[in-house]
């Protein structure tokens, strides 16, 4: 089985992935490899030259091309413990997601996310799960800003810990894009929930037992994977 790489700079593979190649995978010039562009294309190529920070490819052949089937975007607050957000990002990528929006809420405990680290986790996860589309990780933005940016998505949901009979699986429409906002540790404030509802977001429940933020995110991603069959 050929080793698989990611590059959005073909015929070059740059940075982390090229160092990874040269060192960990012990690739050498003349090796045939697989490359994904993160936009639905899978190539085979030959390593022409291995530099310190880039790999030069030639004989690049398109092997497979798919269109993105992912409909799900999730807006989620960074967790106090960054490894929990990293777990969410890895698992959501494996299960299938289109966009991840880290959000600042009133009760978010973090003011920054390690975007490069998270993007490397996403790249490893699509290679490992053999997907051809790279989910988009947006920069950390305010709750209000992401509400605004996702206006046009036809199915908009906000999940929080109130008594709430509505289950996502009972109202999700299979063929339409969907965004789900996941509450932070300490949950959304009443003002945030109100603002979301004023912008067409439907409140949903994720079930009876209380879920951690990252668990709720992975649960919703799995649920949509299941509903899309």
Positions in the binding site for a second copy (CB under 8 A): 87, 91, 94-96, 128-131, 167, 169, 207, 209-212, 215, 218-219, 222-223, 225-226, 229
Q: How far is the CB of 211 from a second copy (least distance, A)?
A: 6
Q: Are 41 and 132 in contact (CB under 8 A)?
A: yes
> Taken in order 85, 89, 94, 97, is the CA torsion positive or negative?
positive
Q: How far is the CB of 128 from a second copy (least distance, A)?
A: 7
- Comparison of 67 and 209: residue with beta carbon closer to a second copy: 209
- Comparison of 41 and 199: residue with beta carbon closer to a second copy: 41
Residue identified by tokens 């209380």 is 210
- Comparison of 44 and 94: residue with beta carbon closer to a second copy: 94
Residue 182 forms beta bridges with which residues?
A: 76, 159
Q: How far is the CB of 129 from a second copy (least distance, A)?
A: 4
- Comparison of 143 and 157: residue with beta carbon closer to a second copy: 157
- Comparison of 5 and 219: residue with beta carbon closer to a second copy: 219
The neighbour count for residue 77, using CB atoms within 10 Å, is 29
- Length of the chain in residues, anyone? 229
Q: What are the backbone dihedrals phi and psi of residue 43, each rounded to the nearest 5 degrees, phi first?
A: -120, 155
Q: How far is the CB of 172 from a second copy (least distance, A)?
A: 11
Tell me what percent of the chain is helix, strand and coil, each rounded to the nearest 5.
Answer: 30, 30, 40
Q: How far is the CB of 36 from a second copy (least distance, A)?
A: 13
Q: What are the backbone dihedrals phi and psi of residue 70, each rounded to the nearest 5 degrees, phi first?
A: -75, 135
Q: Are 62 and 37 in contact (CB under 8 A)?
A: no
């Amino acid at each position: 089985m050929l080793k698989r790489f990611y590059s959005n700079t073909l015929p070059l593979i740059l940075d982390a992935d090229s160092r990874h190649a040269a060192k960990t995978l012990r690739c050498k010039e003349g090796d045939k490899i697989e490359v994904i562009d993160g936009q639905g294309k899978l190539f085979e190529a030959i390593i022409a030259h291995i530099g310190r920070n880039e790999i030069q490819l030639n004989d690049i052949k398109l092997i497979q091309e798919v269109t993105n089937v992912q409909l799900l975007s999730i807006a989620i607050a960074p967790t106090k413990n960054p490894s929990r957000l990293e777990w969410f990002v890895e698992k959501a990528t494996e299960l299938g997601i289109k966009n991840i929006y880290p959000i600042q809420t009133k009760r978010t405990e973090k003011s920054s996310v390690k975007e490069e680290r998270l993007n490397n986790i996403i790249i490893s996860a699509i290679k490992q799960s053999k997907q051809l589309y790279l989910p988009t990780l947006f920069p950390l933005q305010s709750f209000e800003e992401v509400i605004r940016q996702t206006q046009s998505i036809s199915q908009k949901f906000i999940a929080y810990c109130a008594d709430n009979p509505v289950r996502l699986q009972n109202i999700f429409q299979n063929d339409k894009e969907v965004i789900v906002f996941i509450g932070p540790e300490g949950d959304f404030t009443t003002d945030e929930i109100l603002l979301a509802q004023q912008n067409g977001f439907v409140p949903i429940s994720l079930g009876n037992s209380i879920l951690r933020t990252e668990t709720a995110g992975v649960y919703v991603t799995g649920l949509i994977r299941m509903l899309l069959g």
